Chain A
Amino acid sequence: MDILGIPILSFLIFFPLAGAIVLLFIHKDSTIRIAALVFALVEFVVSLPLFFKFDSATAAMQFVEDWWWVEAYGISYKLGIDGISLLLVLLATFLTVLCILCSWTAITFRVKEYMISFLFLETGMIGALVALDLILFYVFWEVMLIPMCFLIGVWGNPARRIYAAIKFFLFTMAGSVLMLVAILALYFINAEATGKATFDVLELYQLGIPAGTQHWLFGAFALAFAIKVPMFPFHTWLPDAHTEAPTAGSVILAGVLLKMGTYGFIRFAIPLFPNAALDLMPLISILALIGIIYGALVSMMQPDLKRLVAFSSVSHLGYVMLGMFALNTQGVQGSIYQMLNHGISTGSLFLIVGMIYERRHTRMISDFGGISKVMPVFAVFFMIVTLSSIGLPGTNGFVGEFLILLGAFRANVVYGVLAAAGVILGAAYMLWMFQRVMFGKITNPKNEGLKDLNAREVITLIPMVALILLMGIYPKLFFNKMDASVEKFLKDFRGKVEMKADLPAPKVAEIKK
C-alpha cells in the first residue's frame, strides 16, 4: 500500500519528520500549533488503513518493505507489522494527536521547538515499532530518547526538570548500551553459525543459540527493556520523569514509550532467546508481581497526583509483564491488550491531571477536594477513566486485566492469586485519590471559581472515553487482529524450547496447557 507513491510504513515514519522540517520555516506560534496538529492528524488518518487493510488471517509480517541499508554489514532497512505491533502503531499516532491538542495553551514558550520535538519523537516511536532489523530498531530506539529528554528538560517543571531529564537519560542509556553490545554479539554468533551477515530479526529468530550464551544476551536485552517498562526495581526514574514532564510528555511517555519496553520483550528478547526466557520466567514473574503490589502500595501514599499516577503505572506494567511471561494465549493477549489499555487510561489520567494543573498550578491532592461541585463534566470523565484504570467490567481495563490474571493463574496458581490481590489495592488507591480530589466540600477557596472543561478539552477526552468503552464492550474487534500473531509467537516459542533437549520435559508440557 502506497501513500503518494511512498510505501505506507515509510510514510508513517518520515511524514512527521518532514512535518518537523516544515515547522522550522513557520514563525507564528499559533500557526505552528495548527500546522503540528494537521501533521499529526494526517499521520493518524494515514495510519488508519493499516487497521482495515490488515489481514487478520495471517501471522506473517505485513506491509513489508525490505531494502539494503549498509549491505556490507548486512544492515537492512526492513519494515513490517504484525498483529502485535499494529495496534501499538495506531496507539502512537492516535496519542500524538491528543498530545498536541492538550499542549495548546499549556506550552507558551519555544512552541516551535516543542512541536518539532514531538513530531521527531513520533518518527522514533513509529520507526522502533515497525523496524525488523536490529540496527534499524536500535537507531529509532535512541532517536526516541533525545526529544523526550528535551521535553522533560526544557518544558518540564522548573524545579527539578534537569535532574529528571538526566535521570531518565542515564537510566535508559545504561540499558541500551548493553543491548547494543548484545546485538553485535548476536550478529557475530549468527555470522559464525550460518555464514550470513544479517541483522534481520526474522532470520535471527531461526538461530539456535546455546543456552548459556542465551542467558547473557537475554540479560542484556532484558535489562534495557526492563528499565524502559519500567520493572521493579528499575522504576525510580519514572516518577521523576512523569512528575517533571509537561502533560503531553507524560501522556506520550506512559502511553507509548513505556510500551517500547514491553514490546521489546515480546518482539526481541523472548523470541530471540526462548530458552533463557523460559529459565528466567520465575524471576521476571516475581519482579512483575512485586511491581504490582509495590507500585500500588507506594502509589497509595503519594501526595502528588502525577506521582500517584506514575506509581500506578509501575503496578499496571507489572500486570503486562506478568501476563506476557505466563506465555500462554490468555496471558500474552491480555498483556498486549493491557499495553493499549494502559496507554489509553493512564494517558487520560495524565491529561486529566494536566487539566486541573493548568487551572490551579498545583498537583498536590491536599490542595483539592470537592471539585465535582464546580466541574461536573470533568467529574464524569475523571470517573470513567478512574474506573477504567481499576479495571471495572465494561471498560477496557477489565478485559486486559482479567485475561492476564487468568493466564497467570494457569501458568502458576500462586502468581494468579497474588496478582488478583493486587486488584483490590488498585481500587483502594484510585478511589481514595478520586475521593480526596473530587468529593467532600470545597475547603480551599481557590477551587471555588474553577471553570469546567472547555470544548477543546472535551474533544481531547471524548475519543479516550469512547475507546475505553468500545474496548471494554467489544474487544473482539481488536483481538481478531492479534490472534494469529500471538498464536504464532507462542507456537514458535514452544517449538524452540522443546527443540532444546536440555529442558526437563514436564516443564514444557506445563506451559503448553
Chain B
Amino acid sequence: MLEYVWLIPLFPFIGFLINGLLGKRLGKGVVSVVGPAAIGFSFLTAILIFFELIHKPPSERLFEKVIFDWIVSGSFQTVIGYQIDPLSILMVLVVTGVSFFIHVYSVGYMHDDPGFSRFFTYLNLFVFMMLNLVLANNFLLMFVGWEGVGLCSYLLIGFWYEKDSAANAGKKAFIVNRVGDFGFILGMFLLFTSLGQHGIWTLDFTEVFANANKLDTTTVTAITLLFFVGACGKSAQIPLYVWLPDAMEGPTPVSSLIHAATMVTAGVYMVARCSVLYNMAPIAMTVVAIVGVATAIYTASIGFCQTDIKKILAYSTISQLGYMFLAVGVGAYAAGIFHLMTHAFFKGLLFLGAGSVMHALSGELDIRKMGALRKKIPVTFGTFFIATLAIAGIPGLSGFFSKDEILWMAFSSDRGHFLLWLAAAVAAGMTAFYMFRALFMTFFGESRVDPHVAHHIHESPKIMTVPLMVLAFLSIVGGYVGIPHVLGGANHIHEFLAPVVGGGVEPVKGHAAFSLISEAWAAGGGAGDHTALELFLMAVSVLIALTGIGIAYFLYLKNPAMPKMLAEKWRGLYQVVSNKYYVDELYQALFVNSLKKLGMGLWKGFDELVIDGTVNGMAYLIGWLSGVMRKMQTGLVQSYAFSIILGGLILVLYYVMRGLF
C-alpha cells in the first residue's frame, strides 16, 4: 500500500479537475458528491497506509516514492517525491479526516451559493496542495504546497469577491504570506549553498538531516530563523499575524478548514519536520518559543474585546498556534504536533459551530446580537460547548492533555523556563475567559437577537450537524492517544513520532528555575521525583482555567452590565485593545502608504522628470542648435557676401593687431 502514496494527493486533484472543468455542467448534485468523495478516498488510503506503517518496527517507518524529476539545473536537482513517515502520515490523517467532514458540512452550508462548484473546486485544490506540503520529501516540494495552500487561501478568502472587504482580505493574506515565503526561500538557499560547500547538493529531507551535523551553529541558526520567518507568515505569528483575522471574510467552512485546522498549522509542522536543524540552533529555538508564547498572550488579549464571533475564534487560533510554537520551541515537538491535532478537532468544530449559528441567525456574526440560543439550536450548542471545554483545558477532554503537556514541557524541558510556563498558563486562563465569554453571550442569558431574525431561528440540517457531532466526539477522545505517563497513560503519540522528532527533551535537573522550585518543593515535603510537581502544575493550570471561566461567568452572566462599566472606566485601554493595538494602522502607514508614495515619486520624479527629461532635453537642445545653424544658410547671397566681408575684416584685424604687439 505504501507504494500507492501518490493516490492520497491524486484523489483531491481529480476532484479539483472534475469540479473545475465540468462542475457547472454537472450540477450541484454531482459536485456535492465528487467534492467530499475525493477527500474521503484520500482519507481511506491514508488509513490503510497508516496501518501498514505501524506494522513495521519504528526504525523502518520511512518510505519515499519519487514520482518524477522536477527542476534539474546543474548541481541543483529536485524531484516531485512523497515521503511517508510517522509525522507525515499523522498530518495526512488529520488533514484528510477533518477535511472530509468539513467538505460534507460545506455541502449543506454552501447549498444556496451560486458559486457552489467553484467553492468545491478551490476546496479540493486546497487539500491537494496541503497534502503536497505534508507529504513532500524535500524542501522545494514542501514550498510548492506551502505557496499552493496560500493561493487557495487567497481564492477562498476572496470567494465572495464582490465584497471589497473580502477581496482586500485575500490580497492581504497573500502578500503577508509572501513576506514569510521570502524567509522560507532564503532559508532554502542558505541551506542548499552551505551544504553544497561540503559537497552535498540537496534539498531532500533525509539527506539534509543526515548531513546537518556538517553545518556550523551560526549557519544553522540563520537557516532556522529564516524558516521561522516563513512559519510566522503561514501560521500567523507576531509580527505577521495580521492577515488571519481579516481572513474571516471567507465562507465559514474555509475558516474552519484552512484558517484553523490545517493550513495555518503548516508552520508548526515545518518546524517539527526540521527538528534536527532546530535542535542544533538553541538561539533559534528560544526565538521560536518566545515568539510563540508572546503571540499566545498578545492575541488572547485581543480576543477579550472582539464582538464578532469569527474574529474571536480567529484570535484564539493565533493564540493556540502560539502555544504550538512554544512547544516546538522548547523542543517538545511531539507535544506541538499533538496540540496541532486536538486543536484541529476542537477549533475546526468551533468554527463549524459558529457557521451553524450564523446559519440559524441569517448570517449574524455579532455576539452582542445573540444570546439564549442554547434551547433553539441544541446540537450546535452541545457541540460548541464541548469544544469550548476542550479549548479551555478542562480535564478529560482532548485540549487538556495536549495543552497540559505543552505547559509541562515549557517548564521542565532543558530549553524551558519558569517564565515561559507562567506566561503560557496565564494565556490558558485568558483563553478560558474569552471562550466562555463567547459561549455565554451566544447561548446563554437573555436573547438580544434582532426580532426580524428571531422567528427564523432553526437548527441546521443533518448534513451539517453530523460533522459537528463527529468532531465533538473527536474533541473529547482525541486526547486519549497522548495521556501523560504521570496520569498512568501510555502517551502513544510521543512514541509514534519519536523516530522523526526524537523522544522529546527529557526534563533535565540542572535547569536553574526548575531546580529552584523543585528544591523548594522537596523542602516543603514534596516528593523527590517530579511526578508530584507535574501533578501540582497541572492542578494550577486547571485552576487558572477555572478562574477564567469564573470571571467570564461573573461578568457576562451574573452582571451583564459590568463589562460596559469596566470599558467606560478604562476607556483608553479598552480603545487600544478593541482596535487591536492599532497594528493594522501602523503597518498601513509604515509599509503600504510609504511604498505607494515611493512608487509614485519614482515614477513622476525619476522616470518622467530625470530620464525622459534628459532624453527630451537633448532632443530639444539638438533641435534648438540646428535651428540656430539653419539661420546661417539662408540662401541669400547678400548675407553670404556680408559674412565673407566680416570674416575678411576679422582676419585683417587679427594680422594688424599681431603686427602691433
Contact = CB atoms under 8 A, between A and B. Distances in A.
B598 interface: yes
Contacts of B186: 409, 416-417, 420
A474 B179 contact: no
A487 B74 CA distance: 8
Nearest to A391: B147
Given A330-B73, A406-B192, A424-B179, A394 B148 contact: yes
A432 interface: yes
Nearest to B598: A297
B167 A474 contact: no
A329 B161 contact: no
B162 A298 contact: no
A392 B76 contact: no
Given A300-B599, A402-B185, A440-B162, A233 B611 contact: yes
B73 A479 contact: yes
Contact of A399 (B71, B607, B612): B71
Contacts of A406: 76, 189, 192
B494 interface: no
B286 to A, nearest CB: 24
Contact of B612 (A236, A299, A431, A487): A236
A70 to B, nearest CB: 34
B233 to A, nearest CB: 11
B71 A298 contact: no
A330 B76 contact: yes
B175 A431 contact: yes
A48 interface: no
Given A420-B185, A431-B174, A294 B602 contact: yes
Contacts of A416: 186, 189
Contacts of B68: 474, 476
Interface string A455-487: 000000000000000000011100100000001
Interface string B418-450: 000000000000000000000000000000000
Contact of B602 (A298, A410, A428): A298
A101 interface: no
B171 interface: yes
Contacts of A420: 182, 185-186
B70 interface: yes
Contacts of A8: none
A302 B147 CA distance: 27
B357 to A, nearest CB: 27
Contact of B607 (A298, A398, A421, A513): A298
Contacts of B598: 297
Interface string A394-428: 10001100110110011000001100110111011
Given A406-B189, A476-B72, A300 B182 contact: no
Contacts of B369: none
| Residue from B73, B154, B612 with most neighbouring chain A CB atoms (10 Å) | B73
A423 B178 contact: yes
A441 interface: yes
A432 B189 contact: no
A167 B190 CA distance: 44
A405 B185 contact: yes
Contacts of A399: 71
B192 A394 contact: no
Contact of A438 (B161, B181, B182, B612): B161
Contact of A427 (B72, B174, B600): B174
B595 A475 contact: no
A420 B181 CA distance: 9
A334 B371 CA distance: 59
A387 B189 contact: no
B529 interface: no
Nearest to B150: A392
B578 interface: no
A95 B602 CA distance: 33
Interface in B174-207: 174-175, 178-179, 181-182, 185-186, 189-190, 192-193, 196
A372 interface: yes
A475 B143 CA distance: 17
A205 interface: no
B73 A329 contact: yes
Given A424-B178, A440-B162, A236 B611 contact: yes
Contacts of A431: 154, 171, 174-175
B607 to A, nearest CB: 6
A63 interface: no
A478 B192 CA distance: 23
Contacts of B167: 435, 439-440
A330 B74 contact: yes
B72 A392 contact: no
B12 to A, nearest CB: 14
Contacts of A301: 596, 599-600, 603
B71 A403 contact: yes
A297 B602 CA distance: 8
A479 B182 contact: no
A373 B612 CA distance: 40
A479 B162 contact: no
A168 to B, nearest CB: 12
| Residue from A393, A410, A431 with most neighbouring chain B CB atoms (10 Å) | A393
A405 B182 CA distance: 11
A370 interface: yes
B615 interface: yes
A167 B614 CA distance: 13
Nearest to B172: A431
A346 interface: no
Contacts of B600: 301
A425 B600 CA distance: 14
A117 interface: no
B69 interface: yes
Contacts of B69: 476
B399 interface: no
Contacts of A297: 595, 598-599, 602-603
A211 B500 CA distance: 56
B638 interface: no
Contacts of A334: 73
A333 interface: yes
A372 B166 CA distance: 14
B151 A387 contact: yes
B168 interface: yes
B16 to A, nearest CB: 12
Nearest to A416: B189
A432 B71 contact: no
Contacts of A428: 175, 178, 595
B158 interface: yes
B197 to A, nearest CB: 8
Interface in B108-146: 140, 143-144
A476 B70 contact: yes
B60 interface: no
A394 to B, nearest CB: 6
Nearest to A329: B74
Contacts of B190: 409
Nearest to A337: B73
A343 to B, nearest CB: 19
Interface of B: 68-76, 140, 143-144, 147-148, 151, 154, 158, 161-164, 167-168, 170-171, 174-175, 178-179, 181-182, 185-186, 189-190, 192-193, 196, 595-596, 598-600, 602-603, 606-607, 611-612, 615
Top-10 shortest CB links A-B? A329-B74, A297-B599, A439-B167, A393-B144, A439-B161, A301-B599, A409-B189, A298-B603, A333-B73, A424-B178
Given A171-B615, A402-B71, A440-B162, 8 more contacts: A298-B599, A329-B73, A403-B76, A405-B185, A405-B189, A410-B193, A423-B182, A423-B185
26 contacts: A297-B598, A298-B599, A300-B595, A300-B596, A328-B74, A329-B75, A330-B73, A334-B73, A370-B162, A392-B148, A394-B144, A399-B71, A403-B71, A416-B186, A420-B186, A423-B181, A424-B179, A425-B595, A428-B595, A435-B158, A435-B171, A440-B163, A440-B167, A474-B68, A476-B72, A479-B71
